[in-house]
Amino acid sequence: MEDFIWLDQPIHKNRIKFELENEDSFNFSFDGSIISFSPKIIDENKDMFKDIQNSKLGYKKLDIPKSIKSEKDLIFFLFYFAE
């Protein structure tokens, strides 16, 4: 089994306003919350991951989406809450 990156805070399925296409890239809790994701998501979105890491370090300011309406918003939240 592939290693997964765990989230500090799970993302509940009610916050996601679209249908997930590749559910194999995620681990879900018993209530359907996303609790971890595959590292290949980082490989596919390296620039966004780097921007969020720089934001956490205080080197860059980012606008945090208020809801998850697209795959891009979901990936932002995954990277933001990754351990």
The structural domain count of the chain equals 1
Average pLDDT rounded to a whole number, residues 31-39:
94
**Mean pLDDT across the chain:** 90
Average pLDDT rounded to a whole number, residues 51-77:
90
| Percent of the chain topping pLDDT 70 | 98
In this structure, which long-range contacts are made by residues 9-14, counting pairs with CB atoms below 8 Å and at least 24 apart in sequence? Answer: 9/81, 10/34, 10/35, 11/68, 11/74, 11/77, 11/78, 11/81
Condensed to tens digits (0 to 9), the pLDDT of residues 38-53 reads 999 999 999 999 999 9
pLDDT at 65: 84
* Rounded Cα gap, residues 4 and 66, in angstroms: 25
Q: How confident is the model at residue 2 (pLDDT cuts 50, 70, 90)?
A: low
- Residue 34 sits in which domain range? 5-81
